[in-house]
Structure 1
C-alpha cells in the first residue's frame, strides 16, 4: 500500500474485496464426502453373519448421486484416512464397496466408537481454555454492571447493541491507522485475520453465532482486533507517542470504560486473531502487560528483590482477559509443605476471631494474588497476608470477570493448580473477614484496602459479601487449614490470647483500679511517716 493512499475502512468496502473463504477443518470422515445428500442407515449384524458393527450407506441404483460411489471414490475416502489420528484411522480402515448393489460398507469395531467418544471429549476439555465463555449463573446474578459492556463490543455476544454502536466508527479509525502504520496492503492484513479466524467461530457459543454469516463475522474479527491493538499501543510509551491525536483523545476520555469493557468475559476476541494484526502493527506485549499487571493497586509495592518483568514463553493466552489474569495472579514456585490432618475445619472466620487468636491482617510485599496465607511471627502471633487492593468499580469488575473465567475453565478446583482458582480464593478471603462496615475500615487501617477514593465502606462490604457464592478455591481452603493448624498447635496460647482480647477493657480497668489503690496506699504511708 502506498504510504499516502487514503483508505476509509467502512463495511461497504469489504464487499468488493476478493478473497477465498477460510478453510474448514474436517475432523473425521464425513459421509457426505462419500455419498453427499444420501440417507444413512445404521444396522447391527448378528455375530453369525458378520463379526463387527457395520455402518451401511444404501444408494438407490436409480439415483444420479449414486454414481458418485465407485472404486475411485472409495479409494479416495480410504486415502483420506491417512490424515486421521490413530483412533479414527483404525476405526475407518476397513471399506467394502458392493458395485452390483451400490452399497458402501464401513466396518467398525464397536470399541473404537467408545474410544473416539472419549478422545473427542478430552479434546473438548482441552479446548475449554481457549473458548470465549458465557457467564455462569453465579456471576450473571451480580447484574449488568459486571457483565454488559458500556462503551465498546468486542466479539459477537454484544455486537449490535444500540448504546455500543458509536464505538463502531472508532473501530474503523483504529483499523485505518493499523493499516497505515503497518505499510502493508489492506488485502494482506485482512487475509491474515481471515486465516487466523478460520476456526474462531467454534470458540463462541453456537447459539450466539448461528445467525451470523461470514460476511459479518469476519469483518467483525478484523475491526475488533485492530481496535484492541490500538488500545494496547496506548499502554506503551512508543505507541502512545506515535498515536493519531484524534484516536488518542478517544482512549484518554474513555480509558476506564474501555478497559472495563475489554476485560469482560463475554467481550473477548481469540488471541490468535489479535496476534494476526500485531504481526503487521507490532505491540510490545511485555510492556503492555507490565503496565497493567499491577492495576489492582493505586500505590505499587516497592520490592528491591523483584526481577525485571518477562513474559512466560510457555503460556498461550486464550484472549486479552486470560492474558492479564495470568500475570495478575502470578506463579507460586515454592512447594508448600503438607499440613497435618484435622478432625474438623471451619471454612469461615471473622476479623474478630482472627484477632482473638493473635492473627493480624497484613498486605503482601507483592501484588500477585496467588501469594496468600498464614505466616507465624514468634510464639504468640501470626499474620494473614494478602495482596493489597484499591477497590473501585473498574477493579471490582475486573476481579469478577477473572473469577468468572476461573469458574468456566476449571471444572474442579481441587484437582487443579492453585493458580487456576487464585482469584476466587482471594475474593473469598476478603469476603470472609468482612461482616460489618467496621471490618472494611479495619482493612483500610491495615493497608489491605488502599486509597481513599473508589468504593465506600458500605459499597465495598456489599461487593465483597455478594461473592460468597463462588466455588471455594484451593488456596482459600489451604488458608483455612493453616488457621486451624495454628490454633491446634498453640491451643493454650491462643486461649490465653483470646481471653485477654475479649476482656481487655476489664483488665485495663482492673489494672487502673489496682494502680489507683496502690497510689492511695502509698500516699497514706507517706503521710503516716511524716506524722
Structure 2
C-alpha cells in the first residue's frame, strides 16, 4: 500500500522542520525573515544614481528625483537583470526627461486595460455605506484584509483545508504549490500596487496557496454538505460559520483571481454548476419546488468568484436601449415617484424571473402599463450582496451606456428602487405589489434607509432604458395619461360625487316607488 501523499506535512505549524522537502526556499507558510525584508528595503531605496546623474538645479533633475521618491515604496524582489535595466533607465532619463512621463503614461494605460480583471478596491460611494457591507467577518481572502487581527483565528483552518485538499487530490505538496506559483506571480499585478508594495513575493505566493485551497474546499463542501469524504472537523467548521463565510467570499475586496482558483480546482475537482446554481436565487426566499435546469456559460471568463456569481444572478438580455417611438420626446426626467407613475396609469409588479436584468415597462391594454422588477427578499445579507455586485459594476464598467445591458443591471435595479421609495408607506406599497417579499428581513424603516442611501448610484443601462420607456409612454399617450392623471388626482372627489349621485338616485327611486303605490292604492 502506498503511503498518503505528504503524510508528514503538518499545515498548522510554521516551523521549517515540519516540511519534508529537500528544497526549502519556497516552503509555503514559512515567514520571510525581518533581515531579508530589511535588506530588500536597502536595495530598493532610492538608487544613488537617481540622486546624482542629473544636476539638482535642473528642471529635469527635479522631475527625476520626484519620480524616484514616488518609486521608493516598491519592494519587489531583485531580478538578476535589475541593475542592467536600471542602468538603461538611467541613460534614457539622462538623455531625455520626457521618458519619465512616457513611463508613467504607459503604466497608467496598462492599468486601465486591466480594468475587467483587476482585484478592485471599493469606490467611495460604496465604502461610505459602512463596514457591515465591506469588511470580512471571519476570513480574509487575498491581501487587502490579511493583517486584520480579528481574522487571524481562521488562518489555522486555511492550513487544515490545504492539508485535506492535498490528501484528497492524491498529489504532492511540491506539485500543487508549484502550480499555484506559476500563476500567482502574474496574479500579483492585479492587486492594488500600494498594498503589494508591503508584501514580498514569497509571502504572496503562500497567501495565494492557502487562500485558494480554503476557498476550493469550501466550494466542495457547499455542493454537498453531507460529503463523507471531507474531514469531519473541517466540515463542522464550514457548517457552523457558513453565514459569515458566505458574506465574506462575496466582498469585492476579498477576492482571488480566478486563474488561481482554477489551478487548485484542477487538483481538487468540483461540480461548479452545482455550486453556482443555488446562488442564482439567493435574493429571494421563495424557490421553486421543481429545480429549473441550469448550465454554465462556457464563454464567460470571470475575474473572481464575485464576478462569476453576479453573472448568473443578473442574467442576460437582448433588449435595446430605446423603445421604437421616441421621436416626440423632447426632454427626459431621470427621476419619477411611485405616485407619479400611478397618476399616468403605470403600476408596479414583480416579474416571474429572479434575474435582475429583467426590468422595464410592459403595456397592459389602452390605458395602463406595468413597471416590472425582479422580486427581492431584503435582509442585511442580501443588501450586502447587492452592494458588492454594484461595486463590481462601478469598478469594471467605464461607461454604463457603452456596453451590454447586463453590465450595469445591479446598479439599475437599486437605482430604480431608490427612486420609488421616499417614505415608509412607499416601502409598504412595494410589499403590497410583491416586489419586496417575505415577512422576515429588514423593517420598512430599515429598508427605507437602505434604499435612500443609494440615490447617489449612477443610473445603469436598464435604468436609462426604463426611464425612456416611461417618458415615451407619457408622451405618446398624452391624452390618455392626462385623463388618467386627472381621475387619479380627483378620485376622492369623484368617488364622493358618484356616491352622492347614487344616494340621490336611490332616494329618488324610493320616493317614486312610494308615489306609485299611493296612486294605485284603493
After TM superposition, the score normalised by the length of structure 2 is: 0.81
Q: Report the CA distance shift for 1:105/1:181 in structure 2 as closer, same or farther (over 3 A).
A: closer
1:416 Cα shift?
Answer: 2.2
> Does 2:420 match 1:433?
yes
1:361 Cα shift?
Answer: 0.9
Q: 2:12 aligns with which of 4, 10, 14?
A: 10
1:402 Cα shift?
Answer: 0.8
Q: Aligned partners of 1:411 and 1:164: how far apart in 2?
A: 33
Q: Flag the structure with more relative contact order, 1 or 2, with Cα contacts below 8 A and sequence separation at least 6.
A: 2
Q: Aligned partners of 1:144 and 1:117: how far apart in 2?
A: 33
Query: Secondary structure in 2 aligned to 1:12?
Result: coil
Q: Aligned partners of 1:129 and 1:19: how far apart in 2?
A: 36
> Does 2:209 match 1:204?
no
Q: Deviations over 1:111-162 (max 9, x none)?
A: 9999998876554323111111111111111111111111111111111211
Q: Deviations over 1:344-366 (max 9, x none)?
A: 11111111111111111111221
1:509 Cα shift?
Answer: 1.8
Query: Secondary structure in 2 aligned to 1:500?
Result: helix
**Does the Cα contact within 8 Å between 2:322 and 2:468 map onto a contact in 1?**
no
Query: Secondary structure in 2 aligned to 1:317?
Result: coil
1:244 Cα shift?
Answer: 2.3
Q: Aligned partners of 2:514 and 2:389: how far apart in 1?
A: 74
**Does the Cα contact within 8 Å between 2:321 and 2:462 map onto a contact in 1?**
no
Match of residue 65 from structure 2: none
Gaps of 5+ in 1: 23-35, 43-72, 81-94, 96-102
Q: Which residues of 2 match residues 143-162 of structure 1 at below 5 A? A: 143-162=130-149
Q: Report the CA distance shift for 1:364/1:14 in structure 2 as closer, same or farther (over 3 A).
A: farther
Q: Deviations over 1:58-93 (max 9, x none)?
A: xxxxxxxxxxxxxxx9xxx9xx9xxxxxxxxxxxxx
Q: Which residues of 2 match residues 519-530 of structure 1 at below 5 A? A: 519-530=506-517
Match of residue 422 from structure 1: 409
Q: Aligned partners of 1:323 and 1:239: how far apart in 2?
A: 25
Q: Deviations over 1:146-197 (max 9, x none)?
A: 1111111111111121111111111111111111111111111111111110
Query: Secondary structure in 2 aligned to 1:293?
Result: helix
Size of the alignment, in residue pairs?
A: 462
Q: Aligned partners of 2:290 and 2:440: how far apart in 1?
A: 25
Q: 1:372 aligns with which of 349, 356, 359?
A: 359
Q: Report the CA distance shift for 1:333/1:261 in structure 2 as closer, same or farther (over 3 A).
A: same
> Does 2:461 match 1:474?
yes
Query: Secondary structure in 2 aligned to 1:203?
Result: coil
Gaps of 5+ in 2: 28-46, 55-80
> Does 2:270 match 1:283?
yes
Q: Aligned partners of 1:354 and 1:175: how far apart in 2?
A: 55
> Does 2:298 match 1:313?
yes
Match of residue 192 from structure 1: 179
> Does 2:381 match 1:394?
yes
Q: Which residues of 2 match residues 86-235 of structure 1 at below 5 A? A: 122-235=109-222
After TM superposition, the score normalised by the length of structure 1 is: 0.80
Q: Report the CA distance shift for 1:392/1:185 in structure 2 as closer, same or farther (over 3 A).
A: same
Q: Which residues of 2 match residues 67-82 of structure 1 at below 5 A? A: none
Q: Report the CA distance shift for 1:398/1:326 in structure 2 as closer, same or farther (over 3 A).
A: same
> Does 2:236 match 1:249?
yes
Q: Which residues of 2 match residues 452-463 of structure 1 at below 5 A? A: 452-463=439-450
